[in-house]
Structure 1
Amino acid sequence: MKDQPTIKWGIIGLGAIAHLFAKELQLVKGAELVAVASRSKDNAIAFAANYHCKKTYDSYEDIMNDTTIDILYIATPHDSHAELSIKALEKNKHVLCEKPIALDYKDAEKMIAASRKHNKFFMEAFWTRFNPSFRAAFAKIKKGEIGEIRYINADFAFCANDKEKNRLFDLKLGGGSLMDIGVYPLFLAYTILGVPDSILAKSNFHSSGVDSQTAMILNYKDAQAVLYSGISHTSDMIATISGTEGQINLNKTWHMAESFTMIKKEKETNYDLPTNGMGYTYEIEECHQCLRNNAIESQLWSHQNSLELIQLVDKVKNQIGLDFSI
């Protein structure tokens, strides 16, 4: 079999997560970073030099016009995801957009519509969905190995520095714990149990107006999920999925775990599944497979999945009174 043609990537927005992503691209066969864009030319040049990238732009419009690029990874703050994704799709670029997909359902709907209109691949970068430990644990759950799921518990918290200019504490940029990390526990419950019948949420707020702590209870006909996010402290970050015949723990740090533990009849079995790099490699490979199959969405994390998840986020936002339009 002949080697597949190299898929050429561009990156828009060159913050911390873009550095992680660029490192992971180097681990994926058939991937090449050909251009990066920042509003700061100096930042773009320095970033490109780190990852052997030949082209730099200080204009997002210009990188979208680069005809050598197959797919753009959008890693800007949350508030610009919708605008930049839609523009890139209109420029006939495939798009991998960092999570959360957008600040609200209406914008997400427009992004999906643009993907379909221009027949271009679009995916929200929910890399946990492609993590080997998550996929293996999810397969066991789907096969009924721990019975009917009755309870999920997941948290995601870290201590962020609010003394310096930090997007996490900027309301205009879509900051706060819910949008940045609360989406992970919501993703876990949604992926396993689907859309809940009701949601109860409560938050504490930072002086900047963003939520610093958010607790959520998702209620289903025969199950509940108790979820939490916070940016003012740390947490165990172990996710527990409990069924009528056993329990699965996604081990620390659960959203990027390299192992999980299944407990049945008081017997514990540990499954070790080390990742290639941090784990972004698997979502990159999923993008490649979709592009080579001329698919405009992933079957593992589809357009509908992203739309349903952001609907849940919207419901939480409404309950806690979080408004990014202020």
Structure 2
Amino acid sequence: MLHKLRLAVVGLGRVSKSHLPAIRELSDQIKLVALVSRDEGKLRQEAEKCEGIHTYTSYDDAVNDPDIDAFLLLLPHDLHAEYSIKALRAGKHVLVEKPMAMNVQEAEEMAEAANRGKVTLMIGQSRRFYQPVMESIRQVRKKAIGELININAMLLAHMDKPAADWWKDESKIGGFIIPLWGSHILDYIQWAYGRAPKSVYAQGHSNNPNWSGEDEVAISMNFGDGQMANVWMSFNAGCRPTDEVGLTGKRIWSTQNSIYERYLIGSNGLLHLKDEYELSLNGEKLETCESTFPNFKWQLEEFANAIREGREPLASGREIIQVMKVMDGCFESMRTGQVVQL
């Protein structure tokens, strides 16, 4: 019988509501052994659902627990590097929410800690883990559209108030729409091309006083050899609400009230991803899935399997360093108004 991965979850905020059910669904492979949070109320409330679980308000105490094999880190972005490195140096495996870190220097330190400790570091690029998305990459690899020459991605959504208070603070989030959503799109584009771009040019503006980071962005990437990609993202695509809640319809994270499209242009065809739920090749549907598809379960299963099999996971720390390089390049380009060579 295979040893179950003994997992601790750190952080019980908004995103934990997606991760915790996935852990329970994988109870044959993963044992949730600990919860870590500074919020004692949330800690007690969640612990009541789990028999025999350990609870910690101190992360250092949890890191020193020999009964924990791995950590799932669900924290503000400015804590990703510090908490990941501490666990990796203690010989623990880490799955940390995206974006990987605040900048590429932090990301490289995380990957180095994983390499030195011979442990697994995976980044929560959860939007890879849908059947239509995976199939789109398979179609690119088999050259179903010939040679990939351009990717155009567009996100139009409306958000008036942030879903978490720390999103308001650029020093904790590292921007706004780029780390929150752009980290997914930039990851997909580089995954599809199989390499990082040679240069990036970006324009970005903040239009909403409820946060300090960018909420309107245009990004252009040059991959060389006539290959390119363009990204347009907006959190301003809707009328301002008149109620105190500050939201028009559902929050963007449901994606039910947004437009999210990716067009992959090849030398002999077109792939179209509509959100993560529908893939078409030259106008014909190839793959669909329900909006309730358990992508967090699939992601966590990949993490556990990679550890068990002694291999790098999809979206490994070493791979996602390239995404951080492009994100850093975007912010440098926005500051300078220049094309940034990567």
| TM-score w.r.t. length of structure 2 | 0.84
2:295 paired residue among 279, 282, 288: 279
2:14 paired residue among 13, 16, 20: 16
* C-alpha spacing 1:284/1:53, structure 2 compared with 1 (3 Å): farther
The corresponding residue for 1:183 is: 183
| CA–CA distance in structure 1, aligned partners of residues 167 and 21 of structure 2 | 23
The corresponding residue for 1:224 is: 228
TM-fit CA distance, 1:50 = 4.2
The corresponding residue for 2:54 is: 55
Letter in 2 for 1:200: Y
The corresponding residue for 2:318 is: 304
2:267 paired residue among 244, 264, 280: 244
Q: The residue matched to 1:321 in structure 2 has which SS?
A: helix
| CA–CA distance in structure 2, aligned partners of residues 79 and 210 of structure 1 | 14
The corresponding residue for 2:154 is: 155
| CA–CA distance in structure 1, aligned partners of residues 296 and 260 of structure 2 | 19
**CA distances 1:229-250 after superposition (whole Å, capped 9, x unpaired):** 3333364102111112211111
Letter in 1 for 2:322: E
Farther-moved stretch of structure 1 (195-204 vs 308-317): 195-204
TM-fit CA distance, 1:274 = 5.1
| Contact 2:100 2:317 survives alignment (8 Å) | no
Farther-moved stretch of structure 1 (211-220 vs 300-309): 300-309
The corresponding residue for 1:202 is: 203
2:215 paired residue among 212, 215, 218: 212
Farther-moved stretch of structure 1 (126-135 vs 76-85): 126-135
Matched, 1:170 2:184: no
TM-fit CA distance, 1:57 = 1.3
1:291 paired residue among 284, 287, 307: 307
| CA–CA distance in structure 2, aligned partners of residues 284 and 84 of structure 1 | 19
| CA–CA distance in structure 1, aligned partners of residues 33 and 278 of structure 2 | 34
| CA–CA distance in structure 2, aligned partners of residues 149 and 131 of structure 1 | 21
The corresponding residue for 1:317 is: 331
| CA–CA distance in structure 2, aligned partners of residues 8 and 159 of structure 1 | 39
* C-alpha spacing 1:316/1:269, structure 2 compared with 1 (3 Å): same
Q: The residue matched to 1:86 in structure 2 has which SS?
A: helix
| Contact 1:154 1:226 survives alignment (8 Å) | yes
| Contact 1:132 1:275 survives alignment (8 Å) | no
* C-alpha spacing 1:240/1:52, structure 2 compared with 1 (3 Å): farther
Runs of 4+ off more than 6 Å: none
| CA–CA distance in structure 2, aligned partners of residues 305 and 238 of structure 1 | 24
| Contact 1:131 1:275 survives alignment (8 Å) | no
Farther-moved stretch of structure 1 (198-207 vs 150-159): 150-159
Structure 1 stretches lacking a partner, 5+ long: none
Letter in 2 for 1:45: R
Farther-moved stretch of structure 1 (152-161 vs 120-129): 152-161
Q: The residue matched to 1:187 in structure 2 has which SS?
A: helix
* C-alpha spacing 1:86/1:286, structure 2 compared with 1 (3 Å): same
| Contact 1:10 1:69 survives alignment (8 Å) | yes
* C-alpha spacing 1:184/1:164, structure 2 compared with 1 (3 Å): closer
Letter in 2 for 1:219: N
The corresponding residue for 2:248 is: none
TM-fit CA distance, 1:12 = 0.8
| Contact 1:93 1:120 survives alignment (8 Å) | yes
> CA RMSD, aligned part only?
2.2
The corresponding residue for 1:124 is: 123
* Superposition map of 1:32-51 within 5 A: 32-50=31-49
Q: The residue matched to 2:260 in structure 1 has which SS?
A: coil
Q: The residue matched to 1:203 in structure 2 has which SS?
A: strand
* C-alpha spacing 1:275/1:65, structure 2 compared with 1 (3 Å): farther
TM-fit CA distance, 1:275 = 8.1
Letter in 1 for 2:217: T
Letter in 2 for 1:184: H
Q: The residue matched to 2:324 in structure 1 has which SS?
A: helix
TM-fit CA distance, 1:272 = 2.6
| Contact 2:264 2:270 survives alignment (8 Å) | yes
Q: The residue matched to 2:3 in structure 1 has which SS?
A: coil
* C-alpha spacing 1:41/1:192, structure 2 compared with 1 (3 Å): same
**CA distances 1:164-214 after superposition (whole Å, capped 9, x unpaired):** 862222112125111111111111211112222221100111444311111
The corresponding residue for 2:132 is: 133
The corresponding residue for 2:280 is: 261
Letter in 2 for 1:181: W
| Contact 1:156 1:185 survives alignment (8 Å) | no
| Contact 1:242 1:248 survives alignment (8 Å) | yes
TM-fit CA distance, 1:161 = 3.8
| Contact 2:183 2:327 survives alignment (8 Å) | yes
**CA distances 1:297-319 after superposition (whole Å, capped 9, x unpaired):** 32x32333211110001000111
